[in-house]
A and B are shown apart, each in its own frame.
Chain A
Amino acid sequence: MEELANLFHGFAVALQPYNIMLMIIGITLGVIIGVLPGLGGANGVAILLPLTFSMPPTSAIIMLSCIYWGALFGGAITSILFNIPGEPWSVATTFDGYPMAQQGRPGEALTAAFTSSFVGALFAVIMITLVAPLVAGFALRFGPAEKFAVYFLAFCSFVGLSKEPPFKTIAAMMMGFALAAVGLDSITGQLRLTFGITELLNGFDFLIAVIGLFGIGEILLTMEEGLAFRGGNATINLRVVLQTWRELPAYWMTSLRSCLIGCWMGVTPAGATPASFMSYGIAKRLSRRGNNFGKGEIEGVIAPETAAHAAGTAALLPMLSLGVPGSPTAAVLLGGLLIWGLQPGPMLFVEQKEFVWGLIASMYLGNLAGLIVVLTCVPIFAAILRVPFGIIAPLILVLCAIGAYSVHNSTFDVMLMLVFGVLGYLLKKCNYPLAPLVLAIVLGDKAEEAFRQSLLGSQGSLGVFFSNGLVSTIMALGLVALFWSAIQEGYSRLRTSMA
C-alpha cells in the first residue's frame, strides 16, 4: 500500500502545470523524432539532454521520457504508411501494417498500432508499480548464456514463419549474419571483413540496411507497378478510430500474450526488438488466421506493437533499479540521471522516492497524453497517402537520405542505403523474404557475442546452455518453436491414426 501512496504523490508531482507542459512538448517532439527514420529515440534524447540540465531532475526526466514515448508511438507511422520502420522494433509492424495501408485501411492499422502500444505500455507500468522490487532482481539472473538463449528463442520462433521455401529463408538469414559480422569483433578486439576500408569500421548499421531494403526497395517496386500508392482511397475521419476500437477487444488473448512477452524481454533486458519479432512469430503460430499474416491482418499489427511498447517501458525498470539500460534510449537517459546527480541502482527507490514515483506517474500520464495526441492525428497521417505518388516519392527519398545520413553523419551511408535499396528490390523480385535478413542484422552480432561470452566462461563446454533451470527452459522453448510445425504435423497424424 505504501507504493500506492507514493504513486499518488508522484501524480501530484507530474500534474504540476509546468510538468504537464513539458510532457506535451516531449510527446510532440518524440513523435516527430520517431517519424524521421534514422533519428530515433536515443538520438533525440541525446540531443535534447543538455537543454534539460537547468531543469529540476524530475521535470527533466519527465520531458525526456515523454520524448521516448513519443518516439515509440511515432515509429509505427512510417512503418505502416511507407513500409519504412523508423526504429528497429517497428520492423515487425510493417509486415501487416503496410499491407493494410495498401488495402485502404491505414486508419485502422494506425489506430490498432497506437492503441496496442498504449495497452502494452500501461501493462508494463502497472507491473513496475506493483512488483518493481521483485522483478528487478530477475535481471540479475541473466548472464551471457541466458541472453543467448533468449536470442535463440527469438530466431527459432521466427524461422519457418514465411511462406517462402525454407532454403530461401535460411539464405536470407545467413546473408544477414554475414552483414552483421562486419566491423569490430567485440570478443577479440579485431577488425573483421573491413578490407582496410575505414568506412566499414562501423559495420553495417541496421537502420541504413532497413531504410534501404524496405523504404527504397518499396519505392522501386511501386515505380514498376505504375507510380501509384494503392492506399489512395483511404477514408479519413475520426470515426475509423471508434470502429477499430470496437474490433480490438476480440484480440485480448494476443494482447495479453504480447504484454507478457514484452515485459519479460524488457526486464531481462533483451529489449524491444526481439520482443516484437517473438510476439509476431508466436501470434502467427497460434492465431486461427495465422495463414493470413503478412497480408494485412490486424492481429499482426497488435502483437508486435504491444510487445514493443511493453518491453520499451519495462526496460526502464532495470535501468532505475540496477543501472543497466534495457535499450539505447534508456542508456542515454541513464547518462542524464548521472549528470543530474542521481545514482541509479538499488538505493534509488529508497533515497529518491519523489523522483522515482514522479517518473512512474509520468509514464501513466505521458502515455495517455501520447495516445490522445497521436489518435487525433490519425486522419491527418492517413491523408498523406492521398498525396500523388509523384510528389510523395521524392519526399520519402529525401527523408530516407536524411535518415541514413544522420545515423553516423556520413555520406557513405547514403550510398550504402541506395545499394541496400537495389538489393531489397532484387530480393523481393526473387521472392526472398526480407524479415529473416533484417532479424539477423539486428540480433546477429548480439547473439554471437552472448554465445562466445558463454563459451569463454564455460571454457568451451556447450553444457552451459543447459546448466540451470532458467537457461534450459528458454532453450527448450526455442527448440519447440523451431520444430513446431513438425510437432503439429506429428500430432495431427497421430489423431487421424487414432480415429
Chain B
Amino acid sequence: MKPSVLSVALAAIAMSCANSTASRAAWEPVRPVEFIVPAGTGGGADQMARTIQGIVTKHNLMKQPMVVINKAGGAGGEGFLDVKTSSGNPHKIIITLSNLFTTPLATGIPFNWKDLTPVAMLALDEFVLWVNAEKPYNSVKDYVDAAKKAPSGSFKMGGTGSKQEDQIITVGIEKAIDAKFTYIPYKGGGEVAVQLVGNHVDSTVNNPIEAVAQWRGGKLRPLCVFDAQPMAYDEPIADGKAWKDIPTCKSQGLAMEYLMLRGIFMSPKATKDQIEYYVELFKKVRATPEWQDFMKSGAFNTTFMTGADYAKWVEAEEKRHEGLMKEAGFLASAN
C-alpha cells in the first residue's frame, strides 16, 4: 500500500536536510533503496522495517533514502516475487519472516529463497505460550492436563494466519502432548492477543512484543518459551517476573522449539561489493541504541549471521519447515 513516488520525494527531502557522513564503500546505492515488507502495515516485520528506516534516516547511515514498501498480497508472495523478478537491481532489499518458507510451500507460488541473495540475519523472534490470567493454568503441566481432558477439538488456539508459523507450532504442540486443538486464524498478532484477553480462545503463541502490554496489565500469563534456552532480558515486566524467568517449553515437558527468522535478502545476481555494503549498513544499525531498545522491547534473540553461515542456517530451516508442514498436511497439492 505504499506510494513509492511520493515517499521517495518525502524521504529525499528528509535526507537533503542533513549532511551525509556515510563512510566510503566500494559500492554505494545511487538511487533510493526500496525496502520491501512481505506483510501488512503495523505487523512485526513492518515495525522492524520502519524502525530500521527511522534509524538509517536519523543517524544518516545511507546517502540515498530508504523507502519501506509493503507488498503483502498472497501471504507475502507478492513481495517475494517482486524481488525475485528484480534480478541485478541492487536497490531492492526485503525483510523476511517465516513466510519465506511457508508461503511457497502452502500456496505453490513459484518461489524459493534460493531465488534471492541472502544478506544478513538481524534477529530471531521468540514465541511464547500464553493463557488468560483468569484461567487456573499456572504451569505448562496444568495447561497440558486441561487440554488433554477437554473433548477433542474443543480447546481453541488462536494465531496469526493460516498454515504459517503459529499454526505450525500448534500442530507441534498437538503432536507433543497428543491432544487435538481447534486452530482459529486471525489477521494480526495484536488482535490474537486481545481475543485471548476476551476469552474467545484458550491459548495463543504470540511473539513477546504482541502480548507484552497485556502481560504487564495483568491480563495474560506466559507459560513457556519455544526456544532452547530462556530469553536474555532480566528487567522485571509484571509481578516481578522478567522475560528471563519464563521457562523453556522443553524443560516443562513440552518438546517443541521454534524461532522465526527476521533476516534481510536482496535481489538475485547481487555482486560481492553490494552484499558487503548492506552487511556493513546493518552492522551499523545494530550498533545504535534505538535498535537495542527495540530488541529489548520485543525480547528478541539477537543472533546475527551473514554469508555462508546465514545461507546454511536458512537451508536447514527450510528443510525443517518442509518436514513440519508435510507432517501437518499443509503442503500445496501442486508441490
Contacts and interface: CB of A to CB of B under 8 A. Distances in A.
B10 A51 contact: yes
Interface in B1-32: 1-7, 10-11, 14
Contact of A50 (B40, B53, B191, B213): B53
Contacts of B53: 50
A331 B213 CA distance: 16
Interface in A159-194: 183-191, 194
A347 B213 contact: yes
A375 interface: no
A65 to B, nearest CB: 15
B217 A345 contact: yes
A190 B184 contact: no
B216 interface: yes
B42 A325 contact: yes
Contacts of B194: 139-140, 322-324
Given A331-B42, A341-B297, A47 B213 contact: no
A347 B3 contact: no
A139 B195 CA distance: 10
B50 interface: yes
A387 interface: no
Contact of A38 (B3, B11, B214, B218): B3
Contact of B1 (A48, A143, A194, A408): A408
Interface stretch (B122-130, B158-166, B261-269, B306-314): B158-166
A184 B195 contact: no
Nearest to A446: B187
A43 B310 CA distance: 33
A408 B58 contact: no
B58 A409 contact: no
Nearest to B72: A202
Contact of B182 (A142, A323, A345, A456): A456
Contacts of A186: 161-162, 185, 187
Nearest to B34: A409
A46 B43 CA distance: 12
Contacts of B187: 186, 449
B214 A189 contact: no
B279 interface: no
B275 interface: no
Interface in B103-129: 106-107, 109
B265 to A, nearest CB: 18
Contacts of A338: 47, 209, 297
Of A48, A186, A189, most buried by chain B (CB within 10 Å of CB) is: A189
A46 B2 contact: yes
Contacts of A144: 184, 200
A143 B3 contact: no
A400 interface: no
Contacts of B153: 459
Given A143-B200, A189-B330, A457-B156, A339 B184 contact: no
B51 A339 contact: yes
Which of B55, B154, B187, B190: most chain A Cβ within 10 A?
A: B190
Nearest to B7: A47
A255 interface: no
Interface string A179-220: 000011111111100100010011100000000000000000
Interface stretch (B73-81, B141-149, B247-255): B73-81
Contacts of A344: 213
A146 to B, nearest CB: 9
A141 B42 contact: no
Contact of A345 (B69, B195, B214): B214
Nearest to B167: A189
A457 B182 contact: yes
Interface string A443-456: 00000010001001
A250 to B, nearest CB: 40
Contact of B184 (A201, A407, A409, A456): A456
A456 to B, nearest CB: 5
A189 B163 contact: yes
Contacts of A46: 1-2, 41, 50, 68
A124 B118 CA distance: 48
Given A186-B162, A457-B200, A408 B71 contact: yes
Given A39-B3, A198-B78, A453-B184, A345 B198 contact: no
Contacts of B213: 323, 343-348
A141 to B, nearest CB: 6
Given A189-B330, A343-B216, A201 B2 contact: no
Given A198-B109, A341-B293, A143 B75 contact: no
Contact of B57 (A50, A142, A198, A331): A50
Contacts of B109: 191, 198, 201
B219 interface: yes
B106 A190 contact: yes
A115 interface: no
A328 interface: yes
A111 interface: no
A184 B74 contact: yes
B62 interface: no
Given A186-B161, A187-B162, A48 B297 contact: no
B253 to A, nearest CB: 28
Given A187-B185, A189-B164, A343-B297, A335 B1 contact: no
Interface string A336-364: 00110101111110000000000000000
A189 B328 CA distance: 13
Contacts of A449: 187
B163 to A, nearest CB: 4
Contact of A54 (B58, B68, B188, B219): B58
Contacts of B42: 325, 328, 331-332, 334-335
A49 interface: yes
Contacts of B183: 456
B207 to A, nearest CB: 12
A42 interface: yes
Contact of B185 (A43, A183, A453): A453
A409 B197 contact: no
Contacts of A409: 2-4, 69
Contacts of B164: 189
B311 to A, nearest CB: 26
Contacts of A39: 3, 6
A78 interface: no
A491 interface: no
Interface in B47-102: 47, 50-51, 53-55, 57-58, 68-69, 71-75, 77-78, 81
Interface string B300-335: 000000000000000000000000000000101000
Contacts of A40: 1
12 contacts: A43-B2, A49-B54, A50-B54, A51-B10, A140-B194, A143-B200, A189-B106, A201-B74, A201-B77, A335-B41, A343-B297, A346-B218
Interface of A: 38-40, 42-43, 46-51, 53-54, 139-144, 183-191, 194, 198, 201-203, 322-325, 328, 331-332, 334-335, 338-339, 341, 343-348, 402, 405-409, 449, 453, 456-457, 459
